[in-house]
Amino acid sequence: MINILKKRIITCLDIKDGRVVKGINFLDLVDAGDPVVSARRYNEMGADELVFLDITATKEKRKTLIGLVQKVAKEVFIPLTVGGGIKSISEMNQILRAGADKISVNSAAVKNPALVSEGARTFGSQCIVGAVDAALQKNNKKGWDVYINGGSKKTALTLVKWVKELEELGAGEILLTSMNRDGTKEGFDIDMLKAVTNAVNIPVIASGGAGSIEDFIDVFTMTDVDAALAASIFHFGEVDMGELKQRLAKNNIPVRIQESSDCNE
């Protein structure tokens, strides 16, 4: 029997000063709750994975909050990805020992691409997530520029070329955030996601723009992404996880339903 891979729904905790925050286009951050309480709730509501991003660690030139990662990890029984300020194999090891299942690298990967390949060799590609923040090129708008430092610094990299390099370096999947759509609830950036999924053979996680159940249906039917990530619509109760998955299933999109006893999942 063919085992069809399920599409994943991922919730995200953007962390600043030990609290969950959310903004629009990476700006105007507002408080969205306690990360430990939020993690517990998402685990219970049936999220497939949880992403923990210490969004100011790189700009503040400090390490990820290990203690908070440990507290969050104790609350979840789903895969936990952690990112923010991780710049060495030693720090990756500390995060994994704290309870993370995967490490997300963004700015550090741009500054030191060898970190991706070394991490993949040390821990396995499945543990290394290449996180990419990208925005439309301002001049011709025919492509996307890559940004680092929490979206505050534009690099010389172009999106498609960079994701291909991340795959070659050994990243196991790509977490792609559209800065233009982040927090806008206008829907995922379909054009950007098509460009990236056509360029790489590793799983791609869509991030930025989710505002409704229809947006998830669109991203899974119009692109080849393996997962879709959202934050504010779950933080503020605008979309119910159970209803979302039921609607996806009714649209012939394979997802894990919490009540299911399917042994092939």
Of 14, 54, 145, 182, catalytic: 14
Whether residue 218 lies in the annotated active site: no
- Neighbour count for residue 60 (Cβ, 10 Å): 14
Per-residue confidence (pLDDT) for residue 77, from 0 to 100: 93
For 127, which DSSP code?
A: G
Q: In this predicted model, what pLDDT tens digit does every residue of 102-129 receive, in sequence order?
A: 999 999 999 999 999 999 999 999 999 9
Nearest by Cα to 22 from 46, 53, 66: 53
| CA distances (Å), origin 199, targets 43, 152, 174 | 32, 26, 11
Q: What CATH number does the domain located at 8-250 have?
A: 3.20.20.70
Q: Helix %, strand %, coil % for the chain, to 5?
A: 35, 25, 40
DSSP secondary structure letter of residue 255: B
pLDDT per residue of the chain (265 residues) written in tens, 0 to 9: 445 789 999 998 887 777 777 555 544 455 556 888 888 888 998 999 999 988 555 555 545 578 888 999 998 999 999 998 899 999 999 999 999 999 999 999 999 999 999 999 999 999 999 999 999 988 766 799 999 988 889 999 999 999 999 999 999 999 999 999 988 899 999 999 999 999 999 999 999 999 999 999 999 999 999 999 998 898 888 999 999 999 999 999 999 987 643 434 4
Spatial contact of 230 and 202, defined as CB atoms under 8 Å apart: no
- Per DSSP (E only), the strands in the chain are 8-16, 19-24, 27-33, 49-54, 80-83, 102-105, 128-136, 144-148, 153-158, 173-178, 204-207, 227-230
Pairing of β 19-24 and β 8-16: antiparallel
Does 182 participate in catalysis according to the annotation?
A: no
Q: Which of 48, 54, 133, 189 is catalytic?
A: 133
